């Protein structure tokens, strides 16, 4: 659900250089971080597909469930990429851990080497797509919006059970 929400927001009809999506993960989960990496990669295909076909709804799950589009090669290709991404995320979630070969693919996973527990960890902040980077483009060469993952610091000696804690961290 989080991946679909993030992809839906990324597909807004809004100038990508003015759009930034921040995912505040209060659970500080490496599985959520992995899912966001998958979403960032899929967005390179999904966003141009949405623009070209004026896709509504822009959530891939909702779109593919309700689409009455004529099935063509591009539609099938994007659907296949989505299904593959979804299967990778679900398989990793069932394992309840990120396999080593995936961890080696992104420096962001090193942050979890220092996590003592979900209630005792440093701030984890990763810019997954930097919209200011000229290389942050989709498959058509168009710029992508910024996508940021944040898990706020939690320490047992500090109170962190406040509703605005995650917003303050952002």
Two tokens, residue 65: 């469930």
Phi-psi domain of 98 (left: phi exceeds 0; alpha: psi -120 through 50; beta: other):
beta
> CB count, 10 Å around CB of 51?
14
Query: 26: annotated binding-site residue?
Result: yes
Residues 6+ apart with CB under 8 A from 97: 30
Beta strands in the chain (DSSP E): 20-24, 124-129, 146-151
**Known binding positions for UDP-alpha-D-glucose:** 26
**Known binding positions:** 26
């Amino acid at each position: 659900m989080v991946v679909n929400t993030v992809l839906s927001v990324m597909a807004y009809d809004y100038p990508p250089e003015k759009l930034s999506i921040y995912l505040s993960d209060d659970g500080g989960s490496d599985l959520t971080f992995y899912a966001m990496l998958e979403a960032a990669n899929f967005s390179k295909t999904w966003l141009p597909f949405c623009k070209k076909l004026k896709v509504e709804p822009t959530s891939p799950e909702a779109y593919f469930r309700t689409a009455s589009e004529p099935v063509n090669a591009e539609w099938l290709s994007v659907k296949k990429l989505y299904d593959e991404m979804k299967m990778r995320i679900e398989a990793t979630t069932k394992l309840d851990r990120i396999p080593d070969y995936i961890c080696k693919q992104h420096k962001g996973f090193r942050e979890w080497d220092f996590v003592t527990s979900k209630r005792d960890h440093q701030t984890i902040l990763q810019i997954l797509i930097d919209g200011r980077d000229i290389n942050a483009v989709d498959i058509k060469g168009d710029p992508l919006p910024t996508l940021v993952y944040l898990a706020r610091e939690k320490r047992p000696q500090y109170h962190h059970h406040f509703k605005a804690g995650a917003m303050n961290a952002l």
